[in-house]
Structure 1
Amino acid sequence: MSPRLRKCNHNGYSFVYVDFAQGYMTNADLETAVKEFGRRCSNISRIYSIGKSVNGVPLWVIEISDKPGEEEAEPAFKYIGNVHGDEPVGRELLIFLANWLCDNHLKDPLATLIVENVHLHILPSMNPDGFSSRRRHNANKIDLNRNFPDQFFPVNDDDDSRQPETRAIMNWLRDIRFTASATLHGGALVANYPWDGTEDKKTNYYGSPDDETFRLMASIYSHSHYNMSSSKEFPGGITNGAAWYPIYGGMQDWNYIHAGCFELTLEVSDDKWPNAAELPVIWRYNKMSMLNLVASLVKTGVHGRIYSSGDGRPLPGFITVSGINYTVRAGTVFGDYHRLLAPGDRYQVVATMPGYKSKNTTIWLDDGPMTLDFVLDPEVSVKGSVLQNVYGCNCNSKCRQEFVQFLWGAHMELYFGFILILGFLCLLFQRRVRAKSSRAKRTVVV
């Protein structure tokens, strides 16, 4: 008899009990594995908890980076497993992923790229109570992937009734500015992207403002997978959530709307609870997908920083792209932004910041990443003279008159020549941006 099958007797009846958890880590095993990883890989990791489940089980997170716990001008990615208690494959795969990165940092180029250029956060189990009971819901019998505020209907708007696991995720995203993320589920084999619901609750395709970028992300995962892209049910191994089946109160849409985080829902195994002996094979099938999705944060898209021309300090401004109704916020410490975009197109990128003049530029985005920095000029007050507002000068009228005469005197020819040279350099920059270049990283300052 298989170790997963056990003979049981109840009220005189004999039956065979299937122990689905045989060979899987218990919650105690998982906590031990997380802490052991933290000790073994302390040079590139940090272990922390974002809260506790209904039954008080800590929600442990592994952060992997060359500078864990430090603020950097780098994108952050999060993986979450075991959202549904009866879908435990994700928690196992995420421990596989963490250990592979630790073992291969400075040995494998992809591992090195991720560790040194991304802050990766891994929450192996969002629903440890559901795992213990072998059930989909948490200990309060709530589906955690229906417990987030919804964009179409006023479900879950009451903060007091929100589940502790949901609250922990929401607080987590207030603390860390994630660029992208993915949750690992089971029961199908497909990469799912927003929107997850529709206004009329009908099952049909309903794309988000960044539909093209989400399709790219889903395709990166699907085509890196052993056989996901060859699906007969889902063309290319990807699907729009609402076109598959609408859900409301899902975590995926909430991430994108409220946290500026591009999230996918990944169904990584047709069997929700496969035999534990199959886990190494499932890891092998998903390994490159999981790695390539994280690496895509720095291998594609537009990245940069926003500065003030007045004192050079970083600005926590905003980045928008003409034609796409979505705003990305820059960081407060470094003024860095990370805007995921599908390559092979021309985009007009706009940087704004209250109290500053906005700037925009048109770029052609190739397959590789582009660095695009913005230097914004402060708005000038209309009160008083222009010179007073620009320079903060308390000079008397005679001082100002002498200064103006100096500007328009013998030095005018030098200034005019300088302006011509500056204009020529700007033209060269624009031509360089528009021209298709190689996959090498490009840097432009506007």
Structure 2
Amino acid sequence: MSDLLSAFLHLLLLFKLVAPVTFRHHHYDDLVRTLYKVHNQCPYITQIYSIGRSVKGRHLYVLEFSDYPGIHEPLEPEVKYVGNMHGDEVLGRELLLQLSEFLCEEFQNQNQRIMRLIQETRIHILPSMNPDGYEAAATQCWGWKPGPHEYQGPNMPEYLVGRNNANKVDLNRNFPDLNIYFYYNEKHGGPNHHLPLPENWESQVEPETKAVIHWMRSFNFVLSANLHGGAVVANYPYDKSPGHRFRNPYRTTNSPTPDDKLFRKLAKVYSYAHGWMHQGWNCGDYFPDGITNGASWYSLSKGMQDFNYLHTNCFEITLELSCNKFPRQEELQREWLGNREALIQFLEQVHQGIKGMVLDENHHNLTGAVISVHGINHDVTAGERGDYFRLLLPGTYTVTATAPGFDPQTENVIVHPGRPTLVNFYLKRSIAPVNPLRKAPGGGQGGRMQAQLRITKKKDGARKQPHRGPG
């Protein structure tokens, strides 16, 4: 009898390990319970934190995966997923909950690929940026009522409420419009990276947008994806086209970034790992390879995707994942199986290009040091710990690190596929230029310092110029 009981318990344990996750929609309280369930199941590789609250006071919870949760390890990149920015586009929300459970369970099952990913990457998952909008959409679509059987059945109207937040603002049209400054700079020689925010930006955005911006500024994110619905395509920046204020399906303009080849590759990684996105024909639209430049599809102002690229070090793409914005529950398992590999492969893309430390001669971190790649007009900066990450395609590059008060350092780098190349920079402090009018210590006319001179030959003769030392 004991042998039968032992065999039964073994089968029960085996079933628990392989049993499929329940595929269903999660309202806010259920979402929070699911996040804490994952955390309680995998407490040593997860933490939960809130980046702020919605208009109606709901927390914007993030679930983090790392071998040292809560700690930035130097040279370990930070990556994020954001779902449910539009409250009625719910598939991303459900996929990110499924992904959270999958990462936890596969880590426990000692899946070497997932263990390596979590040990080498700090992953941040925000399942819902717009929980208020979701509750409005769920009420209309599913007849949600509090109680043990929340979802009473599908009721699919042609147009769902809940796209916007509780203040009726579209959060993906609510970020500071840095594209305006970028296009101005493009004409007048200014930068297209780390553009400053307007002084009064906090008063111009919604609570959810404000929380996400502070989140972006608190972590040195390297890679990101924003999960939407209503189409099936991987969309990459720029989203805004110069001179186009409104969507015009008959007039589209490609608006590439300096990293266009890299963004196209990131989008293709997701598209071709997806079950059907790469086929191109989806939802009545056709996108070759299942990807599109945002502005080439339609021009969008104040979007989160462009904001990431223009203000931070983060490279973000937008994933449109379903024709139906609010899929039926019986469709969720198919959608998960279609997206699971793509979600993992995209996270792995953060481990390409170059990374390293920027330090001074005393091995102190040079926070904010600028990393420039010759031929790609878009810089990244080192984080608080002095480490930097620059996503690049395989190839040979000339890379320069600069910091105020230090001589620049340039290295020739070969980037291989699969793993990032480690390139550390050790900058030497610049020698201050000599002032020819300053008196030497002790004073006196004889103590006046003289500028060294050099002869510069020109076609019309020779003239003397002050010699400028290093820096």
Residue aligned with 2:423, SS: strand
- Structure 1 residue 352 and structure 2 residue 402: aligned? yes
Residue aligned with 2:234, SS: strand
Residue aligned with 1:105, SS: helix
Residue 178 of structure 2 is matched in structure 1 by 151
Deviation at 1:71, TM superposition (A): 2.0
Pairing partner for 1:286 from 298, 314, 339:
339
Among all aligned residue pairs of Structure 1 and Structure 2, give the percentage whose two residues are the same amino acid: 42
Q: Given residue 107 of structure 2, which amino acid in structure 1 is its aligned partner?
A: H
CA distance in 1, matches of 2:225, 2:179: 22
- Structure 1 residue 208 and structure 2 residue 257: aligned? yes
- Structure 1 residue 169 and structure 2 residue 212: aligned? yes
CA distance in 1, matches of 2:389, 2:116: 16
Residue 266 of structure 2 is matched in structure 1 by 217
Residue 362 of structure 1 is matched in structure 2 by 412
Residue aligned with 1:63, SS: strand
CA distance in 1, matches of 2:430, 2:180: 40
Q: TM-score, normalised by structure 1?
A: 0.78
Residue 125 of structure 2 is matched in structure 1 by 122
Deviation at 1:137, TM superposition (A): 0.5
Pairing partner for 1:248 from 265, 280, 301:
301
Residue aligned with 2:350, SS: helix
Deviation at 1:381, TM superposition (A): 2.8
Residue aligned with 2:422, SS: strand
Unaligned runs of 5+ in 1: 1-21, 385-446
Q: Given residue 149 of structure 1, which amino acid in structure 2 is its aligned partner?
A: P
Residue 340 of structure 1 is matched in structure 2 by 391
CA distance in 2, matches of 1:96, 1:23: 10
Deviation at 1:382, TM superposition (A): 4.2
Residue 70 of structure 1 is matched in structure 2 by 71
Kept after mapping to 2: 8 A contact 1:110/1:291: no
Residue 400 of structure 1 is matched in structure 2 by none
Residue 322 of structure 1 is matched in structure 2 by 374
Q: Given residue 80 of structure 2, which amino acid in structure 1 is its aligned partner?
A: K
Moved more, 360-369 or 154-163: 154-163
Aligned length: 359
CA distance in 1, matches of 2:428, 2:399: 17
Q: Given residue 357 of structure 1, which amino acid in structure 2 is its aligned partner?
A: D
Q: Given residue 412 of structure 2, which amino acid in structure 1 is its aligned partner?
A: T
Deviation at 1:158, TM superposition (A): 4.5
Residue 187 of structure 1 is matched in structure 2 by 230
CA distance in 1, matches of 2:423, 2:268: 26
Residue aligned with 2:309, SS: helix
CA distance in 2, matches of 1:319, 1:82: 33
Moved more, 369-378 or 61-70: 369-378
Pairing partner for 2:242 from 199, 206, 209:
199
Q: TM-score, normalised by structure 2?
A: 0.74
Pairing partner for 1:93 from 70, 92, 95:
95
Kept after mapping to 2: 8 A contact 1:110/1:295: no
Kept after mapping to 1: 8 A contact 2:240/2:301: yes
Encode CA deviations 1:221-244: one digit per residue, 9 max, x unaligned.
Answer: 111111111113111111000000
Deviation at 1:152, TM superposition (A): 3.6
CA distance in 2, matches of 1:381, 1:145: 47
CA distance in 2, matches of 1:90, 1:194: 20
Kept after mapping to 1: 8 A contact 2:24/2:332: no
CA distance in 2, matches of 1:325, 1:146: 26
Deviation at 1:122, TM superposition (A): 0.3
CA distance in 1, matches of 2:177, 2:273: 31
Pairing partner for 1:226 from 266, 269, 275:
275
CA distance in 2, matches of 1:52, 1:123: 13
Encode CA deviations 1:128-167: one digit per residue, 9 max, x unaligned.
Answer: 1101111211000000000001134499974313100000
Residue 313 of structure 2 is matched in structure 1 by 260
